[in-house]
A and B are shown apart, each in its own frame.
Chain A
């Protein structure tokens, strides 16, 4: 599969139009259901324009796939929900503005769990996305479409969002690289909120360099997002994250949180991740066990906070200004019917639980309690990072599961997120990179860093990739 630099190279002899057409053809023939909307016409028109003008941006003429919860002006944006079907935003998200300035071409909007609520991309109103490694299996979620598109050769890179693992999980399940940056590094302006205090836009690609190049373009301060930070990684020599990509981990201190390797972890996953840590040690890193005693409670705390915020964020979908509208009655009834008809089961469950967790009499027991647990989780990370530079753990406790296997049992589905959610509660950066296979399915390990220390995790990931071959494996027929 072509990297970004290879595509840029090929543009010297060929054209953007050829590249875009090639990807469009693959999307058309695909059975993955990775896309909700394919922006065929606008993509080709833009490619022609770039070809004729000879634009020389960072990504000029290169197609990108965008998760369908990121606002794109003039291109339908649905969050994979019936309630937003047909909604065409009149504005671009901050990251889309940045990508357009860099010359990237939006090839389409990718499938996802409805409103990013899920771990398998099965809750989409537009049907599940399939895993390129095994069509019977899920691609992970919630950004399953964006990951499957890259793993299946339908886009060279893509954007997702990570609220509790929604970038890292599908990266792991699809055998590609996925980065969730520090909270506040990428503007959320235009990202349709699921759980504001937890989520960040993240990037997918087939290698660490491409993910980093994409990150370089979309990161940075935006005055339209009050939680966007006005600082760049202090560990960076140059002003780009790409400058952190050095093949060297000598002296790097790796923390291994044993809580992330508990009995629910697949043996193949555990062995692959431990092997990967050994590989890094052979390359000069040192590892030690670290204690993160509150990890066990992260899942409940995460879900309570996410559902509470979601119950409020999703209140705006009432059919008045955009989206689905049912037959009019009195306004109470109409609102209730629009929402009943527009949201899927999982979304309704989370709205109801979130409403309950914030309601009088339960606010302190659930919502406030979860936020206090969050403080303890954050302290676990702070303590661990006093001794080590990065933490390494499995991204997911097991490889991709079968479509339909967990969808009827919310708890078992939620339990899949056990290793990814602590990162979001603490707001730290994490990258998932391919590190092995179990039963022919890819396995990802996550490298977690301190706040704003993306440089350390990118360098670790890059070094691992340079010295191993996992990222070069592609699904059969891709």
Chain B
């Protein structure tokens, strides 16, 4: 049982951009603006021109239901859109179309790897809304003399997923974010690699005090850092006999601190009312059909990997933590030994990718199959296999070419045997040490063999042959 001595309560509001849709949520503008000039994917609706009216994208509603179901939420019988009235330069209409009473889904949960094993985090609600535009500042927000606005992002479909305050540490918050992102990626509605795809606001309180809301968090790591800072700050306030006030704080990513945003802006009154230009939805009837088409989700896939491929739970967890990685593994495991594949994909390849800040898309599964084949048929050593993977990531080519180029083919037993005999002959000191009980002396003999074979001998084979000769 996890103690949570500081009474930490963390709730997260995660904005997921439904960027796999073809068009925005209320207009026919295309969503593939990421490489295009500013203000080139706009129309009267998403620019907020006078007289333009919104119409809901049906696929966006389906995607929202998908997410709701995947988060074990109830899809509501009646759902509708509201106007949230406030001003900001990125908001073209002076209000945001969002949901308030009657969100599309609510009352779900997800299971994360918590401080004390599996931990359940409640999902308060998941509701639809529109993204505002993007602001560009010259330098920093507080120093810039003007602000530039690009409305390409304006009107992108967002899903705001609000959790219960169930997380008890920054680590759990990060695990929650990882899990959530993992789930929405599995649903094929979201590409997390695109800029601004996932944004987080965090609410945190300690020891039953007031909560602070931290805005401007753009990464999972950032969330963890912001929360760690905030816990220390709140503890210090209490230690000095103060009271933590409810407020909005801004996360300064560069300095890894949170700053109070207390100002007149705090005097918000959003004056929610039902959007008169959109009619209510009655779509709970869609849920069974959508549920039937839900893909296998990360937890289910993890369990299946353990069962079907006989790999460890740790491997299965790591392999299913990213959809693309899981698919890669599964394609390889179908044609090679699944356990060997798990080791090489999970322990080696993934590490090399992370080291280079690359994704699994940078590696061909045919190459992984070739490498495993070379290993299983003992044509290369494990060190050789690692070297091939590194070379493929750094320079490209094919495993066969690299084997040839680097002369990585494993040398045969006879040659190792000859090299071992020579090593014994040339290192009488080491032999004497070994015979007098210093087992470590064997290592220098193995090293000598490897040197003679230019590393192409298998170290374990060399050791066995040496032992045979020394006995």
Question: CB within 8 Å of B: which residues of A?
Answer: 69-71, 77, 79, 84, 87, 89-91, 93, 188-193, 196-197, 223-227, 308-309, 311-312, 314-318, 320-322, 328, 331-332, 335, 355, 358-360, 363, 367
B358 at the interface (CB under 8 A from A): no
With a CB–CB cut-off of 8 A, which chain A residues contact B278? 226
Nearest opposing residue in chain A for B44, CB measure: A91
Instruction: Report the interface size for chain B: residues with CB under 8 A from the other chain.
Output: 30
Query: What's the Cα separation between A358 and B86 when bound, in Å?
Result: 13
Quick check: A318 and B44 within 8 Å, CB to CB? Answer: no
Whole-angstrom distance from the CB of B24 to the nearest CB of chain A? Answer: 14
Query: What's the Cα separation between A332 and B56 when bound, in Å?
Result: 31
- The residue among A196, A226, A331 with the most chain B CB atoms within 10 A of its own CB is A226
Nearest opposing residue in chain B for A356, CB measure: B271
With a CB–CB cut-off of 8 A, which chain B residues contact A188? 51, 53
Whole-angstrom distance from the CB of A325 to the nearest CB of chain B? Answer: 13
Quick check: B87 and A225 within 8 Å, CB to CB? Answer: no
Residue of A192, A196, A311, A312 near B50 (CB, 8 A) is A192
Quick check: A87 and B87 within 8 Å, CB to CB? Answer: no
Nearest opposing residue in chain B for A188, CB measure: B53
Chain B stretch 35-63: residues in CB contact (< 8 A) with chain A: 44, 47-56
Known: A318-B94, A320-B89, A332-B264. A224 touches B147 (CB 8 A): no
Residue of A87, A191, A224, A316 near B55 (CB, 8 A) is A224
Apart from the given pairs A191-B51, A192-B51, A318-B87, 15 other A-B contacts in the complex at a CB distance below 8 Å = A69-B51, A71-B44, A71-B51, A79-B50, A93-B51, A188-B53, A226-B55, A312-B85, A312-B94, A312-B273, A315-B95, A316-B93, A318-B94, A355-B271, A360-B269
Query: What's the Cα separation between A225 and B278 when bound, in Å?
Result: 8
Quick check: B94 and A315 within 8 Å, CB to CB? Answer: yes
Whole-angstrom distance from the CB of B142 to the nearest CB of chain A? Answer: 11
Nearest opposing residue in chain B for A361, CB measure: B269
Quick check: B51 and A316 within 8 Å, CB to CB? Answer: no
> What per-residue 1/0 map shows which CB atoms of B133-156 lie under 8 Å from chain A?
000000000000011010000000
Quick check: B271 and A309 within 8 Å, CB to CB? Answer: no
Known: A315-B87, A320-B149, A359-B269. A226 touches B95 (CB 8 A): no
Quick check: A316 and B147 within 8 Å, CB to CB? Answer: no
Known: A312-B83, A335-B87, A358-B85. A77 touches B279 (CB 8 A): no
7 smallest beta-carbon distances between A and B, as pairs: A315-B94, A358-B271, A196-B276, A197-B276, A192-B50, A71-B51, A190-B51
- The residue among B52, B89, B279 with the most chain A CB atoms within 10 A of its own CB is B52
With a CB–CB cut-off of 8 A, which chain A residues contact B277? 193, 196, 225-227
Whole-angstrom distance from the CB of A149 to the nearest CB of chain B? Answer: 21
Quick check: A87 and B50 within 8 Å, CB to CB? Answer: yes
Whole-angstrom distance from the CB of A352 to the nearest CB of chain B? Answer: 12
Known: A196-B277, A316-B92, A328-B146. A321 touches B49 (CB 8 A): yes
With a CB–CB cut-off of 8 A, which chain B residues contact A223? 55
Query: What's the Cα separation between A87 and B278 when bound, in Å?
Result: 26
Quick check: A315 and B92 within 8 Å, CB to CB? Answer: no
Query: What's the Cα separation between A219 and B229 when bound, in Å?
Result: 61
Quick check: A359 and B271 within 8 Å, CB to CB? Answer: yes
Nearest opposing residue in chain B for A367, CB measure: B273
Nearest opposing residue in chain A for B273, CB measure: A358
With a CB–CB cut-off of 8 A, which chain B residues contact A87? 50
With a CB–CB cut-off of 8 A, which chain B residues contact A309? 273, 276
Whole-angstrom distance from the CB of A351 to the nearest CB of chain B? Answer: 11
Whole-angstrom distance from the CB of A226 to the nearest CB of chain B? Answer: 5
Quick check: A189 and B271 within 8 Å, CB to CB? Answer: no
Query: What's the Cα separation between A196 and B95 when bound, in Å?
Result: 15
Whole-angstrom distance from the CB of A183 to the nearest CB of chain B? Answer: 11
Query: What's the Cα separation between A224 and B83 when bound, in Å?
Result: 19
Nearest opposing residue in chain A for B85, CB measure: A312
Whole-angstrom distance from the CB of A167 to the nearest CB of chain B? Answer: 18
Whole-angstrom distance from the CB of A378 to the nearest CB of chain B? Answer: 16
Give 12 pairs: A residue, B residue, CB < 8 Å, sorted on A: A71-B49, A89-B51, A227-B279, A308-B273, A314-B94, A315-B94, A316-B93, A320-B92, A335-B87, A358-B85, A363-B273, A367-B273
Quick check: B271 and A316 within 8 Å, CB to CB? Answer: no
> What per-residue 1/0 map shows which CB atoms of B244-278 lie under 8 Å from chain A?
00000000000000000000100001010100111
Residue of A71, A189, A321 near B92 (CB, 8 A) is A321
Chain B stretch 361-406: residues in CB contact (< 8 A) with chain A: none
Whole-angstrom distance from the CB of B102 to the nearest CB of chain A? Answer: 15
With a CB–CB cut-off of 8 A, which chain B residues contact A314? 94
Quick check: A315 and B85 within 8 Å, CB to CB? Answer: yes
Question: CB within 8 Å of A: which residues of B?
Answer: 44, 47-56, 83, 85, 87, 89, 92-95, 146-147, 149, 264, 269, 271, 273, 276-279
Query: What's the Cα separation between A308 and B271 when bound, in Å?
Result: 9
With a CB–CB cut-off of 8 A, which chain B residues contact A69? 51
With a CB–CB cut-off of 8 A, which chain B residues contact A320? 89, 92, 149
With a CB–CB cut-off of 8 A, which chain A residues contact B55? 223-226
Residue of B50, B52, B94 near A77 (CB, 8 A) is B50
Query: What's the Cα separation between A241 and B87 when bound, in Å?
Result: 44
With a CB–CB cut-off of 8 A, which chain B residues contact A358? 85, 271, 273
Whole-angstrom distance from the CB of A468 to the nearest CB of chain B? Answer: 38
With a CB–CB cut-off of 8 A, which chain B residues contact A315? 85, 87, 93-95
Whole-angstrom distance from the CB of A229 to the nearest CB of chain B? Answer: 10
Query: What's the Cα separation between A79 and B50 when bound, in Å?
Result: 10
With a CB–CB cut-off of 8 A, which chain A residues contact B47? 321
Residue of B49, B83, B146, B273 near A322 (CB, 8 A) is B49
With a CB–CB cut-off of 8 A, which chain B residues contact A71? 44, 49-51
With a CB–CB cut-off of 8 A, which chain A residues contact B264? 332
Whole-angstrom distance from the CB of B108 to the nearest CB of chain A? Answer: 28
With a CB–CB cut-off of 8 A, which chain B residues contact A316? 48, 50, 92-94
Query: What's the Cα separation between A247 and B54 when bound, in Å?
Result: 42
With a CB–CB cut-off of 8 A, which chain A residues contact B269? 359-360
Whole-angstrom distance from the CB of A196 to the nearest CB of chain B? Answer: 4
Whole-angstrom distance from the CB of A201 to the nearest CB of chain B? Answer: 11
With a CB–CB cut-off of 8 A, which chain B residues contact A355? 271
With a CB–CB cut-off of 8 A, which chain A residues contact B93? 315-316
With a CB–CB cut-off of 8 A, which chain B residues contact A360? 269, 271
Quick check: B95 and A89 within 8 Å, CB to CB? Answer: no
With a CB–CB cut-off of 8 A, which chain A residues contact B149? 320
- The residue among B48, B51, B55 with the most chain A CB atoms within 10 A of its own CB is B51
Query: What's the Cα separation between A190 and B95 when bound, in Å?
Result: 19
Quick check: A224 and B53 within 8 Å, CB to CB? Answer: yes
Nearest opposing residue in chain A for B45, CB measure: A224
Known: A196-B277, A226-B278, A308-B273. A89 touches B49 (CB 8 A): yes
Query: What's the Cα separation between A226 and B61 when bound, in Å?
Result: 15
Query: What's the Cα separation between A193 and B50 when bound, in Å?
Result: 7
Query: What's the Cα separation between A429 and B282 when bound, in Å?
Result: 28
Quick check: A84 and B50 within 8 Å, CB to CB? Answer: yes
Query: What's the Cα separation between A189 and B89 when bound, in Å?
Result: 25
With a CB–CB cut-off of 8 A, which chain B residues contact A79? 50
With a CB–CB cut-off of 8 A, which chain A residues contact B51? 69-71, 89, 93, 188-193
Query: What's the Cα separation between A196 and B276 when bound, in Å?
Result: 6
Quick check: B53 and A312 within 8 Å, CB to CB? Answer: no
Whole-angstrom distance from the CB of B100 to the nearest CB of chain A? Answer: 12
Quick check: A189 and B53 within 8 Å, CB to CB? Answer: yes
Query: What's the Cα separation between A179 and B277 when bound, in Å?
Result: 22
Whole-angstrom distance from the CB of B468 to the nearest CB of chain A? Answer: 82
With a CB–CB cut-off of 8 A, which chain A residues contact B49? 71, 89-91, 321-322
Whole-angstrom distance from the CB of A321 to the nearest CB of chain B? Answer: 6
With a CB–CB cut-off of 8 A, which chain B residues contact A332? 87, 264
Whole-angstrom distance from the CB of B455 to the nearest CB of chain A? Answer: 65
Nearest opposing residue in chain B for A79, CB measure: B50
Whole-angstrom distance from the CB of A202 to the nearest CB of chain B? Answer: 16
With a CB–CB cut-off of 8 A, which chain A residues contact B85? 311-312, 315, 358
With a CB–CB cut-off of 8 A, which chain A residues contact B273? 308-309, 312, 358, 363, 367
Known: A196-B277, A359-B269. A331 touches B50 (CB 8 A): no
With a CB–CB cut-off of 8 A, which chain A residues contact B279? 226-227
- The residue among B53, B87, B149 with the most chain A CB atoms within 10 A of its own CB is B53
